Amino acid sequence: MNLYNSFAKAFAENHDKTALRVPERELTLTFSELERLSAQMANLLLEQGLNAGDRVAVQVEKSPEALALYLAVLRAGGVYLPLNTAYMPDELAYFVGNAEPGIVVATQRQMPVFQQIRHDTGCVFQMLTLEADGGGSLTTAAQVHAETFASVERDDSDIAAILYTSGTTGRPKGAMISHGNLSSNARVLGEYWGWQKDDVLLHALPIFHVHGLFVACNISLSQGTEMIYLSRLDIDEMIRQLPASTVLMGVPTFYTRLLADPRFDSELVKNMRLFVSGSAPLLEETFAEFEARTGHQILERYGMTETGMNTSNPLNGERLPGTVGFPLPGTSVRIVDADGKVLAANEVGSLQVKGPNVFAGYWRMPEKTASEFSSDGYFITGDLGKIDDQGYVSIVGREKDLIISGGYNIYPKEVEMVLNEIDGVLESAVFAFKDKDFGEGVAAAIVTDGSASVTDTAIKGICKGRLAGYKLPRKIVMLEELPRNTMGKVQKNILREKYGS
């Protein structure tokens, strides 16, 4: 069924309860207000010509209205396509050209960019604006519409969202995520993490990726519980709000930044029930320092855009640092060797998953989809893992060439393509360096033709206009040649060893 209907049930039971508290705007929204706002927006989307299955691309700041828009797209039977606000025009042009949305919602500032994209790609779409303060043509036009809306019927297998994830070829792929993927994952996680009626989730993640939207919001919405909704990670605001919260979800940078603040102590979090970490590896030292400071063990879980959440440490059993816990109920995880043979406990191999959480495939890329599934239907995650005798899964590395910085994924190939186009750059190799704040940072080894104009600053300047800020190389090393093995393949492990700390 339509994912929204599983939220609607909880909304009906919690009508006058606060759904969102937004301290920055001194605003609260009840579940019935959220329902009415999203109904008005859904009516507007239909008026704008949206048909079931049409994509609605959204590049907006985090706001309650942005969440209502997500609900409106679900209700109207559209496909929600959230876009990171950091994406640059070239990146956006690719997503829009590939997804061909019927409607684009963005800030007024971005309108010229989308107008240009409409012109360049020939893609026909309506445009609406939404600002950080909730203003814009979307909310103004929605106001005149009816406050009720009967959700468009959708099956579990119908696509609810497309999220772009880059790939090792450098070209992003749109992961098609179904209503059934999202509703099953939200239900399982709510149960697994012992969600309670009076839980209050402190929400400081962005809502254009899986963690902030499909894990944090979907659980709270389907359980009818309150979110304290911050526009971004602001440690001062978090410290103000923690005493009123019971659950926090974050990437490891959230926890290292909190620990760096002397005000963060056990007294401040005495009302807290659960701290969840994911999207990137949590260092065992962070887990230990957090427990020593607060008495709480961070619960680490593991997921992906394509699969939602796969594994989690237990709520009540032992939370083993350095592991991502057990496969979630209904999800099967296995470790296989290069021939696809399932490996014994503690052996390291390729991690594969199967279950109702696993996506429907990549948008308009059937061959790519087929190549990322095993013959018996397991999704090949590209992560290297092992499972111990007790069933705890650990992620020990990656088969895919990927950097995770502060929970954002950067595929080196995408950055290398931009670097290699710069005049005077002969070749480049992008790799991770260790970063205290973000876990990993983006480094680039560059071979030039010797021109004096190809400086560190010039390269960074060119990349800045073409790549989202978090993808920019922050460390550049100029080399005479790249280290290669006998097959001619660049040895990034050598680059990481020499320049990665």
- Residues 276-315 touching ligand AMP, rule: CB under 6 A, are 278-281, 300, 302-305
CB 209 within 8 A of CB 84: yes
Per-residue burial over 85-96, b if 16 or more Cβ lie within 10 Å, else e, is bbbbbebbbbbb
Q: Whose CA is closest to 163, among 139, 190, 181? A: 181
DSSP string, 386-403: EE-TT--EEEEEESS--E
Judged by CB under 6 A, which of 103, 210, 238, 274 binds ligand MLC? 210
What single letter denotes the amino acid at residue 147?
Answer: E
Judged by CB under 6 A, which of 55, 179, 203, 209 binds ligand MLC? 209
- Residues 416-445 touching ligand MLC, rule: CB under 6 A, are 438
Size of the site for ligand AMP (CB under 6 A): 18
Which residues are 445's β-sheet partners?
429, 477
Q: Whose CA is closest to 419, among 368, 482, 491? A: 482
Would you give the binding string for ligand AMP spanning residues 124-163, x where CB under 6 A is met? ----------------------------------------
Please state the closest distance from residue 449 (CB atom) to ligand AMP, in A.
Answer: 35
Would you give the binding string for ligand MLC spanning residues 225-264, x where CB under 6 A is met? -------xx-----------------x-x-----------
177 binds, options ligand AMP, ligand MLC, none, Cβ within 5 to 8 A by partner type: none
Please return the burial class of 127, using the count of CB atoms within 10 Å of its CB with bins 0-12, 13-18 and 19+.
middle
Q: Which is nearer to ligand AMP, 101 or 278 (CB)?
A: 278
Q: Residue 142 interacts with ligand MLC (CB under 6 A)? A: no
Q: Residue 165 interacts with ligand AMP (CB under 6 A)? A: yes
Q: Residue 199 interacts with ligand AMP (CB under 6 A)? A: no
CB 77 within 8 A of CB 52: yes
Cα 266 to Cα 198: distance, rounded to the nearest angstrom: 21
Tell me which stretch binds ligand MLC (CB under 6 A): 131-139, 201-209, 353-361, 411-419. Answer: 201-209
Tell me which stretch binds ligand MLC (CB under 6 A): 106-114, 182-190, 208-216, 327-335. Answer: 208-216
Please state the closest distance from residue 366 (CB atom) to ligand AMP, in A.
Answer: 20
CB 11 within 8 A of CB 31: yes
- Residues engaged in binding ligand AMP (CB under 6 A): 165, 210, 278-281, 300, 302-305, 324, 381, 383, 395, 398, 404, 409
